[in-house]
């Protein structure tokens, strides 16, 4: 069975004492029939570490360069999907990062973005696993006083 590995980041920024999470609006594509809301992520290229792939993908999809990773937060999601009649196993590792950059320069694969407070970010996220990562991030950050 083919396997795909990707890396991405759940990005937040603080403003007015609140945390805002970045969600990208992906357009329908070859593998999805409908647009969806998710985090910046992409394939880990040959010879790349997870961290390098995550930073490259964040920059390519958002233009964000300044990203301070929150230590000890690393979440992995795993799922299967069908593509051209074949079942593919996908594993995506997510890091949690803080930025001070508010402006986002989306890539051509996106149709928009939003900075949303916690509850709205959970509601806006398309996938159950993304909702769970936002919840875990919020609990983690609240416990650390960040």
Q: What is the pLDDT of residues 69-109, one digit of tens each?
A: 999 999 999 988 888 888 999 999 999 999 999 999 999 98
Position 146 pLDDT exceeds 70: no
List, for residues 136-145, the tens digit of each pLDDT value: 999 999 987 6
Would the CA dihedral through 60, 5, 27, 121 be positive or negative?
Answer: negative
Alpha-carbon distance of 128 to 132, in angstroms, equals 6
Place of tokens 């006083």: 145
CATH number for 3-144 (one of 3.90.79.10, 3.40.640.10, 3.30.70.260, 1.10.287.130): it is 3.90.79.10
Q: What number is the average pLDDT over the span 127-142?
A: 95
Spatial distance between the Cα atoms of 71 and 88, rounded to a whole number of angstroms: 31
- Asked if 17 and 117 count as a contact pair (C-beta separation under 8 A), the reply is no
Between 68 and 109, the higher pLDDT residue: 68
Domain boundaries, the chain: 3-144
pLDDT at residue 83 in the model: 80
């Amino acid at each position: 069975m083919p396997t795909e590995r990707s890396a991405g980041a759940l990005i937040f920024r603080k403003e007015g004492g609140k945390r805002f999470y970045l969600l990208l609006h992906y357009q329908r594509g070859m593998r999805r029939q409908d647009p969806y809301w998710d985090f910046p992520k992409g394939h880990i290229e040959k010879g790349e570490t997870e961290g390098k792939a995550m930073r490259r993908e964040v920059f390519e999809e958002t233009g964000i360069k300044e990203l301070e990773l929150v230590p000890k937060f690393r979440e992995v999601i795993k799922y299967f999907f069908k593509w051209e009649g074949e079942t593919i196993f996908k594993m995506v590792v997510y890091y949690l990062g803080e930025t001070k950059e508010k402006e986002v320069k989306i890539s051509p694969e996106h149709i928009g973005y939003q900075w949303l407070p916690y509850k709205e970010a959970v509601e806006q996220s398309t996938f159950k696993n993304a909702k769970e990562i936002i919840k875990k991030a919020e609990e983690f950050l609240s416990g650390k006083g960040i």
